[in-house]
Amino acid sequence: MPRYQAPLAEIRFILSDLLQVEQLAALPGYQDATPDLLFPVIAAGARLCEDVLFPLNQSGDAEGCRLEDGRVFTPAGFPAAYRAYAGGGWSGLACAPEDGGMGLPELVYFVMEEMVSSANLAFGIYPGLSRGVYNAVRRHGSEPLKRLVLPRLADGSWAGTMCLTEPQAGTDLGLVRTRAEPDEHGTYRITGTKIFISAGDHDLTANILHLVLARLPGAPAHSRGISLFLVPKRLVVDDRGTLGAANAVSCGGIEHKMGIRGSSTCVLNFDGATGWLVGQAHKGLPAMFTMMNAARLAVGLQGLGLAEVATQNALAYARERLQGRALKGARDPEQPADPLIVHPDIRRMLLTMKAYNEGGRALAYWIGFHIDLEARHSDPKVREAAGELVALMIPILKALLTDLGFDVTNLALQIYGGHGYIRDNGIEQYVRDARITQIYEGANGIQALDLVGRKLPQATGRLLRHFCHPLAAELEEFRRDGADPALAALAAPLAKAFGRLQHATVTIAFRGLVDPDQAAAAATDYLRLFGLVALGALWLRMARVAQEKLLAGSEDPLYRGKLDTARFFMAKLLPQTGALFAAIQAGGDVVMAPDDAAF
């Protein structure tokens, strides 16, 4: 049976030692968000994840969701778990106090998102989507609409979904055909079919609010003519939120999926359903991106969460499973064999998993910290810089952490060997669940195109400076006389990788001006190169903190482990940037030149 324990020591290290989370309490509106409050809240969230959500993960996967007489039922235990989740105030963790939320920093929500994803990703999709709808309506909705729906999303009594995809319109939302007709009540009648709608219908809440992309009569063609509407599952008859009859939206089927089987993925049919316009007419796509960007960050955390729980189980198995002898001689001669962890290749895999997980967590929380700076800092220049850094890093965080999440869950299965391939041990579920994270909320190839096609050239490369300039200054410190030799040895390979990133950026920029296919053909390699350098930057910062703690007399093995893992990352994983750089420099002709018939 699998196990999970929230990595509270690792979380505390990043929040306290690396990010100095006490700084958040200095931001307007976060005065109460001191470590004395935040860490008990995180510990309480950990108990919910470990004791309530995690025990339902395997059973929810085995049972899945079912559609009976037009109603969708979630797996046994999910409704009670949702009541515990909502009843504990977790739905409103980072929602505004005026809406009934706790008003805690976004960074704390990031921590909770990771733990929920480790414990039970399928369950976490339900409240996660509600959080996205909350953000979109709070930013773009009318005041009456916000008063009506935000408190109910914050307390978890209503849920939300995001309805973009149609049979003919996936990534290309300009192909959306769903129609919206204005009616005499100032609302709209929505007609069309949406597919792959996560949490599209369920038995967890009294109402579900669907954010739907649709076209008004006479709308401009393609994506310029899309508007955004909020369509309730049940009609709302007054401004107090009283629910009336069912709206004209129904579940036409649920998908039988490879993974996340406890999450209901639905076909939704809108047959003249009543909805409210959110934001301006024909401006639906920018409004929806408020939710999509938040969802992409959340999906990155899903990849991290699955990697963490898979690593915990693989490490425990490697310590317990006796197979073979250490090559230098028996380590435990009184046992019939040595544990797997003595073998070099097992250690290589475990260290790879540890390096990616801990580096990815630091990277994700660092971005969460900047989201709070963007939202709350009193200096508009600081807010602008933080927002531009977050915008740059969204595609990197989503694609990198989900790609690594799939890699790490596969390594966990490899460590288990044949036992990992057996369903009862739980590891294969993490592999299956992780695979969707590379696809939904914008496939990772789309994230790479967003990075090279939109984020790099935006404002003549200004977004890039928020990452590159601070890192260049940090690396320069280690080139000076008197730098700590141990840290300088870590900085040297990072400096080389950073140089490759800078060179590759210039290459892609110039080639893309001549032929956009050249930039697109290099996009995936470039994103991974960028991501590895970003992980390296965070590992160097963590190593510096750990070294300072050790020199100050700390005997906490966590700090020694940080230095050991930083050395492993720089020596064994960061060199991938050399191959990625060579692939980028090779150009896109080898991709684009072959005739279609040659495939």
CA distances (Å), origin 204, targets 89, 163, 350: 15, 19, 38
Distance (Å, whole) CA 39 – CA 33: 10
Active site residue 358: no
Relative orientation angle of helices 516-551 and 557-568, to the nearest 10 degrees: 150
Nearest to 162 by CA among 191, 123, 135: 135
Distance (Å, whole) CA 425 – CA 421: 8
- E strands in 32-178: 66-68, 71-73, 158-163
Q: What residues are paired with 232 via a beta bridge?
A: 209
Contact 159, 152 (CB under 8 A): no
| Region label for 334, one of left (φ > 0), alpha (ψ between -120 and 50) or beta (otherwise) | alpha
Phi first, then psi, for residue 321 (nearest 5°) are -75, 125
Helix (H) or strand (E) holding 180: strand 179-182
Task: Give the length of the chain.
Answer: 599
Residue 379 DSSP SS3 = coil
Residue 318 neighbours by CB under 8 Å, 6+ apart: 339, 340, 341, 346, 350, 415
Nearest to 486 by CA among 540, 554, 558: 540
Which structure tokens are listed for 582?
A: 């060579």
Catalytic one among 441, 476, 548, 555?
441
Contact 519, 553 (CB under 8 A): no
Distance (Å, whole) CA 281 – CA 258: 37
Handedness of CA 590, 592, 598, 599 (dihedral sign): positive
Distance (Å, whole) CA 167 – CA 193: 8
Q: Are strands 207-215 and 158-163 parallel, antiparallel or unpaired?
A: parallel
Catalytic residues: 441
